[in-house]
A and B are shown apart, each in its own frame.
Chain A
């Protein structure tokens, strides 16, 4: 749908400076702290969405050739979702490597509360073996998903973003335009925060532990 896409794109383009965002968030946290006895510290390194995004429902194939039901198989986990490709020279490996390093800095128990899902926007080159080798080198617990590009594009459209742009695949070293964003779904099945490229490892290291308790569903 063109309308929500335009709205969200406009939002991205006017994304506040991270420092300004942090200052605003700090004020918001201070303000809310007055009303509540205990407030879990919220992730603050990304961009807060004015309207949270519902965790999408889709089924794709993982790097082991098994069917993966995104909504069902990530239920109860903090879920990081990224769309990219393994031949990507910078944004994809930097994002994924930063997340891998930040998870390694947590206790194994805490790290197990996350599912990191990488959906390829280059299914022609990213077969199951390539996904498995590339993600395995970053963090073997990462989940790599593939499917027809039209299915992937309908997932990003439902999230309110544009379609991947695949260059001429007959060209050597072709590149793929893709979202530079990591969606962070907390355990309430909502993404309150998205992480554009440029987010540093320190921000991930600070935010990931906070995601475990932030926006947790009532138990």
Chain B
């Protein structure tokens, strides 16, 4: 039979598990969480992922992403005959209440010309710009491909 203190600890743990994800940056009504990036296998090309939530009552749009000297391209993907093609996304709309999570094989940020080349354990700076919310800068932890907490 657990003691009251243990029950309380368990209850607190339960609450902890249902806490909303840690917001690492905000731009107006947009909350950004769960950032991670993959270091290049070789060369200067990697990728980055993050989750955006529109916590407001009005729509907003992600209009740009920059990563220092690197070129950052937002890609969606389209599948046909088992073949996955990337589709360049210039903007990404976020309806009120909507959450968009970038993920491997889905929407991702392709980074080329990374300088300096990030290594696992480093932090990459990304700036996201929203039509209404303006810019938000976030530190993105860098992992080896496939080793992020999201995997």
CB distance from B50 to the nearest CB of A (A): 14
Cα distance, A8 to B144, chains bound together (Å) = 33
Asked if B35 lies at the interface with its beta carbon under 8 angstroms from chain A, I say no
Contact across chains for B82 and A161 when beta carbons are under 8 A apart: yes
A89-B46, A179-B82, A197-B104 are known contacts. Are A173 and B73 too (CB-CB below 8 A)? yes
- Our pick among A133, A161, A197 for the contact of B42 (Cβ within 8 Å) is A133
Within 8 Å of chain A (Cβ to Cβ): is B151?
yes
How big is the B interface, by class?
20 to 34
Query: Is the contact region of chain B dominated by helix, strand, or loop, or is it mixed?
Result: strand
Minimum distance in angstroms from A152 CB to a CB of chain B: 12
Contacts of A8 in B (CB 8 A): 82
Whether A177 lies near B83 (C-beta < 8 A) is yes
Residues of A within 8 A of B80 (CB): 9, 162
Contact of A9 among B41, B81, B85 (CB under 8 A): B81
B86 touches A177 (CB 8 A): yes
Interface size class of A (residues with CB under 8 A): 35 or more
- Chain A residues 1-16 with CB under 8 Å of chain B are 5, 8-9, 12-13
Q: Are the CB atoms of B105 and A138 closer together than 8 Å?
A: no
Min CB–CB distance A113 → chain B (angstroms): 22
**A161→B108 CA distance, assembly (Å):** 24
Give the residues from 54 to 100 in chain B that come closer than 8 angstroms, CB to CB, to chain A: 71, 73, 75, 79-86
With a cutoff of 8 Å between Cβ atoms, the chain A residues found around residue B75 in the complex are 89, 175
Q: Nearest chain A CB to B109's CB is how many angstroms away?
A: 8
Is A61 among interface residues, defined by CB-CB distance under 8 A? no
- A200 contacts partner chain B, Cβ-Cβ < 8 Å: yes
Residues on B with C-beta less than 8 A from A198 are 104-105
